[in-house]
Structure 1
């Protein structure tokens, strides 16, 4: 257990020192939050009702889809994995450490947005705080499971960037965090339901528990975990 906790702590510190990861976990999401929050609050006062949720969805999606896969791609596509084998450390340990470290980073960013938005923009605080943070944790986990798949399967930094953007940008435009989904053509609205951001926004903005909205997230998570386990088993024999 001590070795496991040390690995998580070490990965967390490495993420802090990684400028690329730090940008996607903290700097860009918080700058976007300050910039877009100011615009939304001044143009459309009604946006304050869901400003915390919208900016949090953006921050988590960016961190999990663009930031979290980077350390995995750097490790599993290089000779560093040989050091794990020589040291008798299971290769899955790196993926788990990265997952937990990223979860902590994204939760910190989410809490920052949660605390600052009501003060800076008079944003409405979620009425059901317990449900909000449960939904937040579930959403972070699901998004990180997708990011883990990207980091495990893609061996090139340039390809990883391209694939991450192919998920991140539609999540941003089709989930409802920028504008209501009912303004979209029916086809695009349907496509948007494939992305976790759409369901995360629904759950986090609704004050009552709706279990059916968790089902798509559970399906995505299960598929991502199965894909990750398969890939880790193949990496172990490469």
Structure 2
């Protein structure tokens, strides 16, 4: 138990002290949020309706898909995980603890977004807080799990970049954050349904924001849970 706690605290502090992880966990998502708030709300005032969910999903994607896989591969290549095992850290916690700490960092960023978006950009708060929290946690867990999978299957740090971008870029374009799902062509919309971000945005719209969902929002939650 002590090994688990020490590993958890180490990973949590690393997420703040490490410059790359600090960028992915906090600076990048918050900087992008500020930029989108200043630009998109002027270009498209309707963006305010989904600004909080969209930026929350972006924070999760940046911290997990972009930030989580590479440290796992780097630690594995450096033999750090082998030292963990020798010192009694369970093999499962080696993968689970970085995912948990990343979710916590994403939660902090989301709280900042939820607090400041109504004040600075007149973005509406979620109508249903229960579904907002549930959807956020399911999204974070699904993306963290996918990130750990990328870290496990990647043979090198270069491969983590390839796999991460293969998920991140389509999620940004097709996930409903920047472009509404209803505007996607038929074939592209089917591809978008493979992305956790699409189901997260649909669940946020239909359940948390009380907006019109593009498809069954409960089904989106089930898919996120299964992921």
Count of residue pairs brought into register by the alignment: 220
Distance 1:138 1:152 in 2: 21
For residue 207 of structure 1, give the secondary structure of its aligned residue in structure 2: helix
* C-alpha contact (below 8 Å) 2:52/2:123 kept by paired residues: yes
Distance 2:31 2:89 in 1: 38
Distance 2:184 2:93 in 1: 42
* C-alpha contact (below 8 Å) 2:128/2:207 kept by paired residues: yes
Who is 2:17 aligned against?
Answer: 17
How high is the TM-score relative to the length of structure 2? 0.91
Who is 1:42 aligned against?
Answer: 42
Could you tell me which runs of 5 or more consecutive residues in structure 2 were left unpaired when the two chains were aligned: 209-215
Measured after TM superposition, the shift of residue 210 of structure 1 is: 4.3
Who is 2:92 aligned against?
Answer: 92
1:182-201 matched pairs, under 5 angstroms: 182-201=182-201
Who is 2:124 aligned against?
Answer: 124
For residue 88 of structure 1, give the secondary structure of its aligned residue in structure 2: coil
- Quick one: which of 191, 211, 214 aligns to 2:218? 211
* C-alpha contact (below 8 Å) 1:71/1:98 kept by paired residues: no
Deviates more, 1:41-50 or 1:26-35: 41-50
How high is the TM-score relative to the length of structure 1? 0.87
Measured after TM superposition, the shift of residue 163 of structure 1 is: 1.1
Could you tell me which runs of 5 or more consecutive residues in structure 1 were left unpaired when the two chains were aligned: 222-238
Distance 2:128 2:82 in 1: 47
Cα RMSD for the two superposed structures: 1.6
Distance 1:6 1:85 in 2: 13
Distance 2:89 2:5 in 1: 14
